[in-house]
Homo-oligomer: A and B are copies of this chain.
Amino acid sequence: MGSMPITRAQATSASRGTIEPMEDELVAWLRQHLPAHRDQSVPIGDDAAVLHWGTGPGCVVMVDVVMDGVDFELAEVAASRVGHKALAVNLSDLAAMAARPRAAVVALVLPRHGGAELARELYAGMIPLAERYDVALAGGDINSWDGRLVVSVTAIGQETARGPLRRSGARPGDWIVVTGSLGGSRLAKHLDFEPRVNEALLLHERYALHAGIDISDGLTLDLARLCEASGCGSVIDLASVPIDPAAGQWARQLADGSTALDHALSDGEDFELVLTLPADEAARLVADQPLEIPVTRIGEIVAERGLWQRDATGIVTPLVPRGFQHELDKP
């Protein structure tokens, strides 16, 4: 992509944006301090850990928590949708690794008042999803307290014969593709989305994918993480980003000057897949359109680190990743 308009140091600084990146910093700390273990082939920081016991396929394990007041407002939504979401975010992480879901265990921290009925409704949302993806809902832990609802789901999958799809496999020259359309998920999709499990398995089998991540915190933020893990950068062609109608609707609703494109680039919880693969493979994939949802080329991986945007006239400028990070005070 030619010469870069800013230095790497500037790009790193820009990529931090205005968000306290304590979540990513904590992951970096953990990567340094957690002891390595011979069973573990994918270290902390990817979407899930991969563990090897014996000779069978690796076991892909991940946990995701959703909390009332952060990931949903229990007063405003049916608990069954919360249950669906709690399991679906985990299946989405398994999809990001192109792993086959096998089981999930659920820990509930229930508010004391009405907790038992709430638990039943949460499970009523989880059970159909578990059945659809043949996931054993293997029990869990039930607790109550005076605080708000917390649902922690641990999903366990198995890597396929192609191994897990990792964040770190992107190479300069790869095309970047996304499934579905982006933005405005807060209107409904963040609760009702279908994890891209089958899509990931199909694409991983038929195309030589290099890297993948699911959009949980926003396209630009998650793509920046993929690039950082891969030691490279990316250029997004702004005109090619598939914008969901909900993104425009959300922008109009906010009426804060944000555009539909802004939301497609930065809204969290789209739970679509961002994948990179060699240009020729990607061209074949985009021509094939093998899924029931579109797969769209949105840019390419470059050697120079950082996140860049290319406008309709071809001018490349830095793109500040934006999205959702859990904000923690510095100690």
Q: Tell me whether B329 and A37 are in contact (CB under 8 A).
A: no
The 0/1 profile, CB within 8 Å of B marked 1, for residues 295-310 of chain A is 0000000000000000
CB distance from A106 to the nearest CB of B (A): 7
Which single member of B51, B70, B112, B141 contacts A136 (CB below 8 Å)?
B51
Indicate if the CB atoms of B116 and A330 lie closer than 8 Å. yes
Contact indicator B65/A143 (Cβ below 8 Å): yes
Tell whether, in the assembled complex, residue B22 and residue A105 are in contact, meaning their CB atoms are under 8 Å apart.
no
Question: What is the distance, in angstroms, from A75's C-beta to the closest C-beta of chain B?
Answer: 15
A123 with B30: CB separation less than 8 A: yes
Which residues of A in the span 13-70 have a Cβ within 8 Å of any Cβ on B?
A: 22-23, 25-27, 29-30, 33-35, 37, 39-40, 43-46, 48-49, 51, 53-57, 59, 61-65, 67, 69-70
Q: A256: CB under 8 A from chain B?
A: no
Report B-chain residues with C-beta under 8 Å of the C-beta of A114.
Answer: 328-329, 331
1/0 per position for A78-109, CB-CB distance to B under 8 A? 00000000000000000000000011011101
**Distance (Å) between the CB of A52 and the closest chain B CB?**
10
Q: Determine if A67 and B147 form an interchain contact, defined as CB atoms under 8 angstroms apart.
A: yes
Is residue A119 contacting chain B, with contact meaning CB distance below 8 A? yes
Partner of A139 from B49, B113, B134 at Cβ < 8 Å: B49
Q: Tell which of A148-156, A170-178, A258-266, A284-292 binds the partner.
A: A148-156
In contact, A328 and B107 (Cβ under 8 angstroms) = no
- Which one, B43, B119, B138, contacts A51 given CB within 8 A? B138
* Structural contact, B63 and A107, CB atoms closer than 8 A: yes
Contacts of A148 in B (CB 8 A): 147
Interface SS, A side: mixed
Q: Is A8 an interface position by the 8 A CB rule?
A: no
Interface: A74 (CB within 8 A): no
Within the complex, the shortest CB–CB distance from A148 to chain B, in Å, comes to: 6
Contact of A143 (CB < 8 Å), options: B57, B143, B145, B326 = B326
Bound complex: CA A43 to CA B140 (Å): 11
CA distance A123 to B49 in the complex (A): 17
Q: Report A119-145 CB contacts with B as 1/0, cut-off 8 Å.
A: 110010001001100111111111111
Enumerate chain A interface residues (CB-CB to B < 8 A): 22-23, 25-27, 29-30, 33-35, 37, 39-40, 43-46, 48-49, 51, 53-57, 59, 61-65, 67, 69-70, 102-103, 105-107, 109-110, 112-117, 119-120, 123, 127, 130-131, 134-148, 150, 152, 154, 156, 158, 326-331
With A40-B138, A117-B331 already in contact, 9 other A-B pairs whose C-beta atoms are closer than 8 Å:
A22-B115, A25-B116, A43-B139, A48-B139, A51-B103, A67-B109, A112-B328, A141-B152, A143-B326
